[in-house]
Amino acid sequence: MTPNSTASLAGAPDRIGAPGNVSQLITPVLQSERISIIDSLRGFALLGILIMNIVSFGMPYEYGLNLELHHEYSGPNFYAWCAETGFFEGTMRALFSMLFGAGSILLLSRLEKRYTGLGISPADIYYRRLFWLLLFGNINAYILLWSGDILYTYAICGLFLFPFRNMKAKHLLIVGLFLMTFCGLKSFKSRHDKLAVRAKGESALLIEKQNGVLTPDQQQDKAAWLAVEEQDKAENIRKKADNDGLNLHKGYFGVMRYVKHINEESQTIAFYHDYFWDALTFFFLGMALFKWDVLTGKRSTRFYWVCLVAGYTAGSFISYYLLKTQIDAHFDPTRVAQSPAADFYQPRRFLIAMGHIGLVMLVYKYGLLKWLLRALANLGQMAFTGYLSQSIICGLVFYGYGLNLYGSLQRYQLYYIVPLIWIFQLVFSAVWLKYFRFGPFEWLWRSLTYWELQPFRRRSPRESSSLSRAVVVTD
């Protein structure tokens, strides 16, 4: 497997027909014309995302985050938490986001080359794709009932990338690092606010203990702190988690009513406070890395060794500090907030994601596990279908309208299910692409974007030579 360059435009006329015949220009992406190593990275990231998402699918969100609730400070559940939180949490999403940013640059560059002189705006196609992605995100959230959907966020954040498509890599990197710094400042402010509530509340309680008279403001400070203390008690968190979890044992429409409220908050308050800045940060970093050929496997072996060793070493050090802080504080949010380590969450994600890139690229550069890279590339080519199918599969496994396993498995037992889903997705994508040009959801997305049904089945096991010379626009 070798890294492929952008799709060839050789032999393409400067102008083909009129704008009304645009659909005649649209041809499917052939496997030989894709950048296979990017597909492999995307498949790798998609499998890694399930490592984190399986916990939210299989147990109450609070149990996934907080070892104190079940006193899981030893045994397989503890080690599973350490691995998932320290090495995978946020890092696979970071890689997925960087690949989305890179994919946007690749798509736009090919659109602009293809439609030069045709009176067709690449922005038109680009924004139509994002519009449909937004719709699919809502389908994933409200119909497939996944409360951790990322497509909605990607669609909205993707709207902001078009003006930056021709920016130099170093400037894209600066924008990405600026946004990362902004995320750190937001984290610092959040920590400061939590500590301020505690400090004011404890001060008011001390005055009251000494028989002092509280001012109205001090009474409010006391009430606010007591409310936080009550909310953060382990027994109250357990009660809330268990009560909420009962909703996921209901039938399809019962689950839909419950998930609706979670998604509404995720797509409004949480989106504007966190997800928007998170996604944009890694979009820009991915765009920079793509322009520097980091994501296409064209850098030196030594470069990828540096990514692997430096990324994993520095990122793991920060992860260790973050995990130790939570354990030492027994997951008390205000005690955790006393540690400045929380401000390094985004750098940690970036560093470990760079380690992931280094790992995959070194396997690729040394010609190892070619069968695995091919399998990952197949899945990466169908990543949209793969992502949505994870929601479908996990919903049927865990929710009340399926096998109803929600809350019945311990943390480590959830990871017995993960490799089964991985194997299914890898095999399914390999078989599917033998007979079809796109994954089913990719085909639907493309057809909606161009508002015309696209070729779906392959003409033969190998595409005809005429198709291999066609002008291609990647997904």
Q: What is the 3-state secondary structure (H, E, C) of the chain?
A: CCCCCCCCCCCCCCCCCCHHHHHHHCCCCCHHHCCHHHHHHHHHHHHHHHHHHHHHHHCCHHHHHCHHHCCCCCHHHHHHHHHHHHHHCCHHHHHHHHHHHHHHHHHHHHHHHHCCCCCCCHHHHHHHHHHHHHHHHHHHHHCCCCCCCCHHHHHHHHCCCHHHCCCCHHHHHHHHHHHHHHHHHHHHHHHHHHHHHHHHHHHHHHHHHCCCCCCHHHHHHHHHHHHHHHHHCHHHHHHHHHHHHHHHHCCHHHHHHHHHHHHHHHHHHHHHHHHHHHHHHHHHHHHHHHHCCCCCCCCCHHHHHHHHHHHHHHHHHHHHHHHHHHHHCCCCHHHHCCCHHHHHHHHHHHHHHHHHHHHHHHHHHCCCCHHHHHHHHHHHHCHHHHHHHHHHHHHHHHCCCCCCCCCCCCHHHHHHHHHHHHHHHHHHHHHHHHHECCCHHHHHHHHHHHCCCCCCECCCCCCCHHHHCCCCCCC
Which has the closest alpha carbon to 445: 130, 30, 93, 47?
Answer: 130
Tokens of 207: 């005055």
CA-CA-CA-CA torsion for 47, 275, 284, 95, nearest 10 degrees?
-10
Q: What pLDDT does residue 426 have?
A: 98
**60 backbone dihedrals φ, ψ, rounded to 5°:** -55, 140
Is 474 domain-assigned? Answer: no
Q: What pLDDT does residue 111 have?
A: 84
Q: What pLDDT does residue 463 have?
A: 52
Total structural domains in the chain? Answer: 1
Q: What pLDDT does residue 468 have?
A: 35
Q: Give yes or no for a contact between 123 and 111, defined as CB atoms under 8 angstroms apart.
A: no
Q: What pLDDT does residue 72 have?
A: 94
**Angstrom distance (rounded) from CA 427 to CA 410:** 27
Is 5 domain-assigned? Answer: no
Is 209 domain-assigned? Answer: no
Is 238 domain-assigned? Answer: no
Is 1 domain-assigned? Answer: no
Is 415 domain-assigned? Answer: yes
Q: How many CB atoms lie within 10 A of CB 373?
A: 23
Q: Give yes or no for a contact between 360 and 41, defined as CB atoms under 8 angstroms apart.
A: yes
Tokens of 203: 């001060």
User: CB under 8 Å to 281, separation ≥6 — which residues?
Assistant: 97, 176, 179, 180, 183, 346
Range of the domain at 144: 19-188+247-468
User: Crossing angle, helix 383-398 and helix 440-450, to 10 degrees?
Assistant: 120
3: left (phi over 0), alpha (psi -120 to 50) or beta: beta
User: Could you list the pLDDT tens digit for every one of the 475 residues in the chain?
Assistant: 443 333 322 333 333 333 444 444 544 444 445 789 999 999 999 999 999 999 999 999 899 999 999 999 999 999 999 999 999 999 999 999 999 999 999 999 888 887 666 556 888 889 999 999 999 999 999 999 999 999 999 999 999 999 999 999 999 999 999 999 999 999 999 889 999 999 999 999 999 989 888 999 999 999 999 999 999 999 999 999 999 889 999 999 999 999 999 999 999 999 999 999 999 999 999 999 999 999 999 999 999 999 999 999 999 999 999 999 999 999 999 888 888 777 899 999 999 999 999 999 999 999 999 999 999 999 999 999 999 999 999 999 999 999 999 999 999 999 999 999 999 999 999 999 999 999 999 999 999 998 889 899 987 655 533 333 333 333 4
Q: What pLDDT does residue 117 have?
A: 61
Which has the closest alpha carbon to 398: 417, 378, 420?
Answer: 417
Is 93 domain-assigned? Answer: yes
Is 198 domain-assigned? Answer: no
